[in-house]
Structure 1
């Protein structure tokens, strides 16, 4: 059973596409919209697993302000600029899809920003900062950006966005802190770091895969009914994410350490598509919702591959002294 529990963590590059395919196939033949309320619960579990052992004081610490400043510049100047250029060139004949792309670009960070940062062993407190500030600024600025970019004012419920932040970030954080305090009565810090913390990582990934499954399965029919627009949306989104990955990675490598760099990439490339798709469907219609749905698939698949490549090439994890000593001993022998 434990091997099954650890499977998604060990084979992440297989788990994400497999979940996408299963979600799409089941969603084609069955209505899974009744599962929509469970997404919030799964998101809370996903974040909760990464929050056990999180230190509250790190959220308000001055340390990490540098990565926050870079994220604000990228999220609210560069990324909207990239979306606008793609919109006025490639999506000129599809203004509704352009609106959907704009919404995807204007709402940065999600619960998965924290989860993926934890999976890649980046700076989780920094990722929490980026998530909170990104959602707050995004909710305040999105209506005005949309007015400029697509010429239509879209009302964003700021109080509802604050409620979302409290539920998906602060509630798991508090629950994680309570859990940690309870565990500390039974384990030492060293035992917690070596035994308990690694055992929580697969739980976060299982919850993430569940969110992916439900989100894709609910919209499988929409994708099938709009195949003529699928290719256009896919090409635009691949270009959008590729450009954003390159920009964020270059900034991270040039100006930040490994942990902050991982948090920056995840906090600028990953968009809050759950909020975006709700706004797209209610304010613009099916075509806008379609491109956000495809963005969800591209985003989930690309971050899995990016994380694998980054850990091998530009965000290599430093070896600890014990590992280096073992290597030296092996060479001598």
Structure 2
């Protein structure tokens, strides 16, 4: 039974692109109404995914990363300096005469790291402690950074509910992460088997439900037109560029390994689009929310495709080495 669950989980891991894409499509069709119950369910499912992910990680490893935090800090530098500059360039290139769309791209680039970056890092066998520390650090600085950032760039001060944001991220990330890592250390690493079996399957089911609800919540913000098609292309470029920036940034790491590369790709590339939508809808005109809504269409499917892309190039490199050795 345990072997069957592990193999089923591994099979689902290889099919994540289809799983996420089908969830988004179903969400667009069903259009589940937003409610406090739905929001509470999403927080609970996020917390469960984070807990299961952390069952394969030692708390000692997490503390070691905090002790030498320069990789997570480098990730935050890429996210909050380089990415907004790239968004500003894209906005001037495609929307020089549409200030609200330019603003939407900037807001999309400035929002915090997506919580699901931790789960995707785990699925891609990346360095989970680095992803956890990056999200933790970003949780602390973003509520203070965003109002200053928007004031400098747009001349508009944004008042973010720091307490609400921190409590939500504590419930979704910090508490379940620490609980999972404590269980891992307490059991001597035996919980890793659960995270690769039944826990892995159920966490992927949780992700399916989350993506379904996200697709449903974002669909009202999108009205299809030629302008929307152009915005879709720009949003796609922005998402791909963010993931690519994470990979390029990993090349600067001395003695980098595959697990560090995957952690950087997902931490730099993944954004908390739900948080961005709330900020855009609350403080800016509705048009500003469109680029952020479109991010949600591409972030998760591309995240699911990344391990396959890496696997393709790794297998190609292995074949080349074998052919060279044979010669």
Match of 1:234 among 232, 235, 246: 232
Which deviations, in whole Å up to 9, do the C-alpha atoms of 1:194-234 show, x marking residues without a partner? x42311222222222211110111232332x3535421321
Change (3 A) 1:219 1:251: closer
Give the whole-Å Cα distance in 1 for the aligned partners of 2:236 and 2:209.
Answer: 24
Change (3 A) 1:164 1:37: closer
The equivalent of 2:268 in structure 1 is 268
Give the whole-Å Cα distance in 2 for the aligned partners of 1:38 and 1:230.
Answer: 31
The equivalent of 2:211 in structure 1 is 212
Asked if the contact 1:46–1:204 (Cα under 8 Å) also holds between the matched residues in 2, the reply is yes
Change (3 A) 1:147 1:92: farther
Q: For 1:40, what is the secondary structure of its paired residue? A: helix
Give the whole-Å Cα distance in 1 for the aligned partners of 2:307 and 2:315.
Answer: 9
Give the whole-Å Cα distance in 1 for the aligned partners of 2:142 and 2:276.
Answer: 11
Asked if the contact 1:103–1:142 (Cα under 8 Å) also holds between the matched residues in 2, the reply is no
Residues 1:21 and 2:25 aligned together: yes
The equivalent of 1:59 in structure 2 is 62
Aligned length: 311
Match of 2:99 among 95, 100, 103: 95
Asked if the contact 1:54–1:173 (Cα under 8 Å) also holds between the matched residues in 2, the reply is no
Match of 2:194 among 196, 201, 219: 196
Asked if the contact 1:64–1:260 (Cα under 8 Å) also holds between the matched residues in 2, the reply is no
Which deviations, in whole Å up to 9, do the C-alpha atoms of 1:104-123 show, x marking residues without a partner? 21123122111000000010
Structure 1 unaligned blocks of 5 or more: 319-326, 328-333
Change (3 A) 1:229 1:152: farther
Change (3 A) 1:141 1:192: closer
After TM superposition, give the deviation of residue 314 of structure 1 in Å: 6.0
Structure 2 unaligned blocks of 5 or more: 323-327
Give the whole-Å Cα distance in 2 for the aligned partners of 1:52 and 1:192.
Answer: 5
Change (3 A) 1:228 1:284: farther
After TM superposition, give the deviation of residue 311 of structure 1 in Å: 3.2
The equivalent of 2:159 in structure 1 is 155
The equivalent of 2:294 in structure 1 is 294
Asked if the contact 1:107–1:134 (Cα under 8 Å) also holds between the matched residues in 2, the reply is no
Computed over aligned residues only, the root mean square deviation of the Cα atoms, in angstroms, reads 2.9
Residues 1:31 and 2:33 aligned together: yes
Normalised by the length of structure 1, the TM-score is 0.83
Give the whole-Å Cα distance in 1 for the aligned partners of 2:276 and 2:286.
Answer: 13
